[in-house]
């Protein structure tokens, strides 16, 4: 084992603090910028034990190995959050224990404390994502059986600036309900049991009501970001959001008449998601993206999964240009899913009932995803409900979920290896802002199998 002189141990401590800060861990808070009182209990205990161990080592001087040097071990394991950081710290503590009998007792106490922190962090990770881990593919081998994938889905929030501004308040009530729902019971018809904390929320277009109106678009976009945020820490919503644009959200930036382009904002947000590893892939134009939660693959196709508006339509371009969404879906599934047979969810704003995404384009999408295990297609735009759809000459239908309007409610979805279950959690009266009553509709359950992809 290499030996390191005392000054370099101090450098290692500083380096460890730097690495932990970059990983989003809160195990060694720095003085003056974050109070110890705001640190989690395992973090405070770990910090205390680590400081004691360092003090003992320094005080012991050359007693460590008779040469005036300390032996130090570093664990460069996967950097995926507090749980794995704690494991690495426990490894380091164990290595330090070999240096001196006096440090051994401290190291054992540290390892015990770190193990407790690891267990607590692991339990939390299975139920709720943190800003550092949300949207990540925690492990390619992880399947929904080991950790159920829970998420919420909504659409058509239509934030307002001048007229119908009461809709903004109704959206706020819905988001507060999302925050409070985990731990409450699934309907008995779907098997009951507690609802897990979601890994994120799908927001499927028409985020605001008018994507190109001077004096309004800016206000409406600010309402959306204030309530939905991005990562679960910067808005009212406590979970990361994965949004796409709809026909109300405005055209590409070059065609905007006022200063705020929703599509330009989405590109910035996608770049942030990719940098923070919330998502795994982004299309070359920065709009479409995909990610993994556990063993399930998700693809965001925004307006609808086609490459361009069909020549037969000629409706309000460029607002209704899908901008090579289908190309991204095809390339992403080939690269990210291949022949694995693992579950796939595709989402967009429009469903198979839209008069400017027409039936021949629906069929092109169906044929493109047919080789894969697409367990559901989520969309908004036109109502609420669960249905099936397939071309007339095909046998196997797609499960289609129309997620409704945010002001009224949202879908709750859970996926395990054996099944997908979902239900629409809806207000009995959307106009009620104080303690509204909630109900369940469109309850649906589907058995799942994982079969290799079939190539034509």
24-38, 128-142, 155-169, 190-204: which has the minimum mean pLDDT? Answer: 24-38
Range of the structural domain that residue 353 is part of: 149-447
Model pLDDT, residue 120 = 40
Average pLDDT over residues 12-30: 41
DSSP state of 282: E
Kindly state whether residue 189 falls inside one of the protein's structural domains: yes
pLDDT score of 239 more than 70: yes
What six digits make up the tokens of 9?
Answer: 């141990």
Task: Encode pLDDT of 347-360 as tens digits.
Answer: 999 999 988 899 99
Kindly state whether residue 337 falls inside one of the protein's structural domains: yes
Kindly state whether residue 93 falls inside one of the protein's structural domains: yes
pLDDT score of 335 more than 80: yes
- Quickly state the pLDDT bin for 102 (edges 50, 70, 90): very low
Cα–Cα distance for residue pair 148/373, rounded to 1 Å: 18
Model pLDDT, residue 134 = 53
Whether 296 and 337 map to the same domain: the answer is: yes
Cα–Cα distance for residue pair 111/116, rounded to 1 Å: 9
Whether 266 and 336 map to the same domain: the answer is: yes
Q: Among 127, 157, 175, give the residue marking a domain's end.
A: 127
DSSP state of 194: B
73-77, 205-209, 410-414: which has the minimum mean pLDDT? Answer: 73-77
Average pLDDT over residues 31-60: 40
18-22, 24-28, 343-347: which has the minimum mean pLDDT? Answer: 24-28
- Mean pLDDT of all residues belonging to the chain: 77
Whether 123 and 163 map to the same domain: the answer is: no
What SS3 state is found at 88? helix
12-16, 236-240, 445-449: which has the minimum mean pLDDT? Answer: 12-16
Kindly state whether residue 223 falls inside one of the protein's structural domains: yes
Model pLDDT, residue 98 = 39
Q: Among 127, 159, 189, give the residue marking a domain's end.
A: 127
- CATH code of 233's domain: 3.60.21.10
- Quickly state the pLDDT bin for 9 (edges 50, 70, 90): very low
pLDDT score of 74 more than 60: no
Kindly state whether residue 142 falls inside one of the protein's structural domains: no
Cα–Cα distance for residue pair 414/431, rounded to 1 Å: 28
pLDDT score of 112 more than 50: no
Kindly state whether residue 377 falls inside one of the protein's structural domains: yes
Average pLDDT over residues 407-420: 97
Kindly state whether residue 393 falls inside one of the protein's structural domains: yes
Whether 184 and 324 map to the same domain: the answer is: yes
Whether 107 and 159 map to the same domain: the answer is: no
Model pLDDT, residue 453 = 61
Measured distance between the N- and C-terminal CA atoms of the chain, rounded to whole angstroms: 56
- Residue 14 has φ and ψ, to the nearest 5°, of -60, -40
Cα–Cα distance for residue pair 124/130, rounded to 1 Å: 9
Whether 368 and 286 map to the same domain: the answer is: yes
Model pLDDT, residue 142 = 54
Inter-CA distances, 381 with 155, 174, 367, Å: 7, 18, 23
- Quickly state the pLDDT bin for 316 (edges 50, 70, 90): confident
What six digits make up the tokens of 435?
Answer: 């303690």
Model pLDDT, residue 455 = 56
Model pLDDT, residue 452 = 67
Of residues 144 and 288, more confidently modeled: 288
Whether 120 and 199 map to the same domain: the answer is: no
Average pLDDT over residues 142-170: 90
Inter-CA distances, 433 with 82, 223, 428, 441, Å: 38, 17, 11, 20
38: Cα within 13 Å, side-chain hemisphere? 9
Provide long-range contacts, Cβ within 8 A and 24+ apart, for 167-172. Answer: 167/407, 168/223, 168/227, 169/433, 170/406, 170/407, 170/408, 170/430, 170/431, 170/433, 171/227, 171/406, 171/407, 172/227, 172/236
- Quickly state the pLDDT bin for 456 (edges 50, 70, 90): low
- Quickly state the pLDDT bin for 313 (edges 50, 70, 90): confident
pLDDT score of 138 more than 80: no
Kindly state whether residue 132 falls inside one of the protein's structural domains: no
Inter-CA distances, 430 with 173, 369, 436, 437, Å: 9, 36, 8, 9
Whether 171 and 234 map to the same domain: the answer is: yes
Average pLDDT over residues 107-123: 39
46-50, 56-60, 168-172, 219-223: which has the minimum mean pLDDT? Answer: 56-60
The 3 state secondary structure assigned to 313-377 is: CCCCCCCCCCCCHHHHHHHHHHHHCCCCCCCEEEECCCCCCCCCCCHHHHHHHHHHHCCCCEEEE
Count of domains observed in the chain: 2
- Quickly state the pLDDT bin for 382 (edges 50, 70, 90): confident
pLDDT score of 205 more than 60: yes
Select from 58, 57, 61 the least CA-distant residue to 95.
57
User: Which DSSP string do the residues of 131-180 spell out, in sequence order?
Assistant: TTTTT----TT--TTTS-EEEEEEB---B-SSSSTHHHHHHHHHHHHHHH
Model pLDDT, residue 377 = 98
Question: How far, rounded to the nearest angstrom, does the alpha carbon of residue 365 sit from its chain's CA centroid?
Answer: 25
94-98, 201-205, 340-344, 362-366: which has the minimum mean pLDDT? Answer: 94-98
Whether 327 and 421 map to the same domain: the answer is: yes
Whether 50 and 176 map to the same domain: the answer is: no
Cα–Cα distance for residue pair 253/264, rounded to 1 Å: 6
39-48, 150-159, 187-196: which has the minimum mean pLDDT? Answer: 39-48
Of residues 91 and 447, more confidently modeled: 447
Whether 117 and 157 map to the same domain: the answer is: no
Task: Encode pLDDT of 244-271 as tens digits.
Answer: 999 999 999 989 998 899 999 999 999 9
β-pairing, 149-154 with 409-415? Answer: antiparallel
pLDDT score of 420 more than 70: yes
Q: Among 127, 162, 187, give the residue marking a domain's end.
A: 127
Of residues 254 and 283, more confidently modeled: 283
Whether 68 and 163 map to the same domain: the answer is: no
């Amino acid at each position: 084992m290499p030996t390191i002189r005392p000054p370099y141990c101090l450098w290692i401590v500083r380096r460890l603090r730097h690495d932990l800060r970059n990983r989003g861990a809160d195990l060694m808070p720095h003085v003056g910028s974050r109070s110890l009182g705001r640190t989690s209990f395992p973090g405070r205990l770990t910090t205390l034990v680590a400081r004691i161990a360092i003090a003992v080592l320094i005080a012991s001087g050359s007693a460590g190995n008779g040469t005036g040097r300390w032996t130090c071990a570093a664990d460069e394991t996967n950097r995926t959050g507090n749980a794995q950081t704690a494991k690495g710290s426990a490894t380091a503590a164990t290595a330090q224990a070999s240096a001196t009998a006096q440090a051994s007792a401290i190291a054992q106490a540290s390892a015990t404390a770190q193990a407790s922190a690891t267990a607590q962090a692991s339990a939390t990770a299975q139920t709720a994502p943190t800003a550092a881990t949300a949207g990540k593919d925690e492990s390619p081998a992880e399947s929904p059986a080991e950790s159920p994938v829970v998420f919420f889905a909504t659409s058509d929030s239509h934030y307002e600036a001048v007229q119908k501004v009461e809709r903004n308040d109704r959206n706020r009530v819905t988001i507060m309900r999302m925050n409070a729902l985990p731990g409450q019971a699934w309907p008995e018809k779907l098997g009951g049991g507690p609802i897990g904390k979601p890994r994120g929320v799908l927001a499927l277009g028409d985020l605001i009501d008018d994507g190109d109106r001077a004096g309004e678009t800016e206000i409406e976009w600010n309402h959306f970001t204030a309530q939905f945020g991005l990562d679960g820490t910067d808005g009212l919503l406590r979970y990361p959001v994965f949004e796409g644009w709809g026909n109300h959200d405005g055209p590409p930036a070059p065609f905007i008449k006022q200063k705020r382009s929703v599509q330009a904002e989405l590109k910035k947000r996608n770049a942030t998601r990719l940098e923070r590893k919330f998502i795994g892939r982004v299309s070359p134009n920065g709009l479409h993206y995909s990610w993994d939660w556990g063993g399930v693959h998700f693809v965001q196709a925004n307006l609808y999964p086609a490459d361009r508006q069909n020549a037969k339509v000629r409706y309000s371009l460029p607002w209704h240009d899908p901008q090579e969404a289908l190309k991204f879906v095809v390339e992403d599934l080939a690269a990210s899913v291949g022949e694995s047979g693992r579950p796939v969810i595709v989402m967009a704003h429009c469903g198979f009932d839209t008069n400017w995404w027409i039936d021949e384009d629906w069929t092109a999408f169906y044929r493109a995803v047919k080789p894969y295990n697409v367990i559901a297609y989520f969309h908004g735009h036109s109502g609420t409900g669960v249905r099936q759809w397939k071309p007339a000459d095909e046998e196997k239908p797609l499960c289609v979920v129309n997620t409704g309007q945010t002001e009224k409610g949202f879908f709750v979805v859970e996926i395990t290896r054996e099944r997908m279950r979902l239900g629409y959690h809806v207000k009995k009266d959307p106009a009620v802002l104080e303690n509204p009553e909630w109900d369940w509709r469109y309850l649906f359950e589907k058995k799942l199998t994982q079969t290799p992809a079939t190539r034509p």
